[in-house]
Amino acid sequence: MNLLNLTPEAAQETLASWVSARGEAAYRVRQILPRLWQRPVRSWRDAPEIPAALAEALSGEFPLPRLELGRKQVSADGTVKFLWVLPDGEAIESVWIPDGRRHTLCISSQVGCALGCVFCATGRMGFYRHLEPWEIAGQVREMALDPALGKPTNVVFMGMGEPLHNWNAVDVALTILNHPRGLGMGARHITVSTVGLLPGLKRLAARREQFRLAVSLHAPTSARRRAIMPVERKYALADLMAAVRQFKRRVTLEYVLIAGVNDAPEDALALAGLAKPVGALVNLLPLHPGGAPQLVSASPAGLKRFATTLRERGVTVSVRRSRGLDISAACGQLRVETERAGQVRADQHAGVE
């Protein structure tokens, strides 16, 4: 059994039954459980408080799977891109983004993505499979195992995949990330980003924890959005904004500015009309050049004008800069480049950096 696929409470119950059946002292559970997430180890044998015979038995009954490093790129701005190879040979990405005392890890929830947004390398890749809970939360676990990095202060589900399309696994992963016997991260430091799958939005809103929500909007009208985000054909913008109004927490609207596509003055006015009534924060981002080679980011001056228009209409705006411009930091970019070179499976045992 893979204990890393269970919520901490379920893992504790499973361990308690197993320890009792072996005739071990009950306190052994209190020694074993923290080594899953709170103080993770690479293998049970690395936990000195666990006797060798018990560690051997744990290795046989509850092996600890790992994400295997396929490639690693480090940007001059400190951004680090990881390509993880999974047990079946597929690959996913995580991005470590340092910003002063804040260290954000952008994690993946699927191999590829079924939503097909035209400005996203992962969307052009297509959908391969869902990730399991351990493969999602395991991206954070790998950081905790890295002495040079450590556990991030913030986690965002903005990597490969649509998290609400993989709700069952993401639901468990959120519990692992937040639970005090898991990774113990505050819910307000965990952000789920979605293109707007309404059934999943309802499930996320039903959770009592104050997880953050970011909606990938990227266009202020249904017609504009349909041209770049196929999901608009199933879940219309009007219905999405109605769901946002029902969300009991402040929502961030993500908006990547693409020259000639969604950066006109009337787009800014229309976006203000959506954001202001719901009190949303608008997060403006220049298009990362690695995301869609056929598209061009709005200029810095254009981005500034767009932000000014929003602020003049009472909208709170955050303007982000692209990180990792000297590496393959765009979502899905490193996976696509590595796949083209035929290295995804070849690097599985190579530890390429």
> What pairs with residue 84 in β-bridges?
69, 92
Helix (H, G, I), strand (E, B) or coil at 139: helix
pLDDT at residue 293 in the model: 75
Q: What are residue 90's phi and psi, to 5 degrees?
A: -70, 170
- Given this model, what pLDDT does residue 124 score? 85
Sheet with 212-216, side-by-side order of all strands = 68-74, 80-85, 91-99, 102-106, 154-157, 190-194, 212-216, 251-257, 281-286, 316-319
Give the whole-angstrom CA distance, residue 12 versus residue 31.
Answer: 11
Cα four-point dihedral sign 182, 188, 189, 193: positive
C-alpha neighbours within 13 Å on the C-beta side of residue 107: 32
Predicted pLDDT at 347: 40
Helix (H) or strand (E) run with residue 281 in it: strand 281-286
Q: pTM for the full model?
A: 0.91
**C-alpha 349: how far from chain center:** 25
Q: Each residue's pLDDT tens digit in the chain (353 positions)?
A: 999 999 999 999 999 999 999 999 999 999 999 999 999 999 999 999 999 999 999 999 999 999 999 999 999 889 999 999 999 999 999 999 999 999 999 999 999 999 999 998 888 889 999 999 999 999 999 999 999 999 999 999 999 999 999 999 999 999 999 999 999 999 999 999 999 999 999 999 999 999 999 999 999 999 999 999 999 999 999 999 999 998 888 999 999 999 999 999 999 999 999 999 999 999 999 988 766 778 999 999 999 999 999 999 999 999 987 665 665 545 655 555 555 556 554 343 333 22
> pLDDT value at position 339?
59
Q: Backbone phi, then psi, for 281, in 5-degree steps?
A: -85, 130
Surface-to-core class of residue 165, CB atoms within 10 Å of its CB (0-12 exposed, 13-18 middle, 19+ buried): buried
Any residues with CB less than 8 A from the CB of 227 and at least 6 apart, and which? 118, 219, 261
Phi-psi region of 351 (alpha: psi -120 to 50; beta: other; left: phi over 0): left
DSSP 3-state percent helix, strand, coil across the chain (nearest 5): 40, 20, 40
Closest CA to 107 of 91, 118, 96, 120: 96
Tokens of 267: 């787009």
Cα–Cα dist 262/255, whole Å: 9
Q: Dihedral angle at the C-alpha atoms of 156, 81, 6, 87, nearest 10 degrees?
A: 150
Residue 122, pLDDT score:
87
Phi, psi of 71 (to 5 degrees): -145, 155
* CATH number of 68-348, picked from 3.40.50.970, 2.60.40.1220, 2.170.270.10, 3.20.20.70: 3.20.20.70
pLDDT for the residue numbered 179:
98
The domain limits of the chain are: 3-61, 68-348
Q: Record the tokens describing residue 228, joined without a space.
A: 């770049």
pLDDT of residue 353: 27
3-state secondary structure string, 72-133? EEECCCCCEEEEEECCCCCEEEEEEEEECCEEEEECCCEEECCCCCCCCHHHHHCEEEECCH
pLDDT at 14: 98
Known catalytic residues are 93, 331
Please check whether residue 70 is in contact with residue 344, taking contact to mean a CB–CB distance below 8 angstroms.
yes
